[in-house]
Amino acid sequence: MVKVTQDCGNCGHERCWYSQPFIRDIPSGNLLMSAAILFSGAVLRHWTKVLRFLMHMGVRAVSANTVSQHQTAFLQPAVRDVWQGWQDHYISTTRQMQKAVILGGDGRADLPGHCAKFGVYSLMDLTIMKISIIHLVQSNEVQNSSRMELEGLKRGVNLLQQSGIQIAELVTDRHPQVLKYVRENMPTTKQSVDVWHVSKGLKKKLVKLAREKDCGELTSWNRSINNHLYWVAASTPNSDRQLMQ
């Protein structure tokens, strides 16, 4: 923000002009800059790069400490309020419709491998194509980081069931713990596996097989075979497993 102070040499009158309006005592442009950095996906280790980029261009910007203060005091609470409002609206609307939902679920960790500290499990309503449930799990809440995905699924399913919402179908990856939990604890829910995960496993097997002697020709067929797998899954009536196989 630019502040210009004017003094009259004759009468001593003084006035100030600001290049930005204020939100309470915070320049609105500064807060909007912090919001843009956060909402564009620039997390802690990346927003300093954004500020450094602006510095190299000669564009005046807020400091990293200011961005951090804005996020803690205003932006993150605003995100939580908006999300909680949307989730409450989704749950109440779905409960009133008294219709079982079809969900797709998957987890994501902050680090690859078995050393992750945080994991986020998301459930999407595949009818309206919107995220309905998000749960953050810390590795010390469960036995190890590989169990964060299952814990996130349990919390999401429990929230919906306690709200009186039935799950007609659940589409997940091939995580063995998730498959076992759904099979044993959700008998009325149809369990499906995302075709992308099946295709990924098939592709790896085909690539490995193509390295064998006299199997090099398989390389040129890999894409077509995987495309056909998608077509089979999408076009088979009533998801008949035997017919697809």
pLDDT tens across 22-74, in order? 988 899 999 999 999 888 887 666 778 888 888 899 988 888 899 889 999 99
> For the chain, what are the domain ranges?
3-80, 99-191, 194-245
Q: Which long-range contacts (CB under 8 A, 24 or more apart) does 105-108 make?
A: 105/153, 105/156, 105/170, 105/171, 105/172, 105/178, 106/172, 106/173, 106/194, 107/148, 107/149, 107/152, 107/153, 107/175
Given the structure tokens 């306690």, which residue do they identify? Answer: 162
Q: Is the pLDDT of residue 227 over 90?
A: yes
Write down the pLDDT at residue 56: 93
Supply the pLDDT for residue 143: 87
Task: Output the six-digit token pair for 56.
Answer: 């190299």
What does pTM read for this prediction? 0.76
pLDDT computed for residue 45 by the predictor: 65
Q: What is the pLDDT of residues 1-25, one digit of tens each?
A: 889 999 988 888 999 999 999 988 8
The average pLDDT across 168-191 equals 92
CATH superfamily for domain 99-191: Ribonuclease H-like superfamily/Ribonuclease H (3.30.420.10)
What pLDDT is stored for residue 10 in this prediction?
87
Do residues 100 and 89 lie in contact, with contact meaning Cβ atoms separated by under 8 Å? no
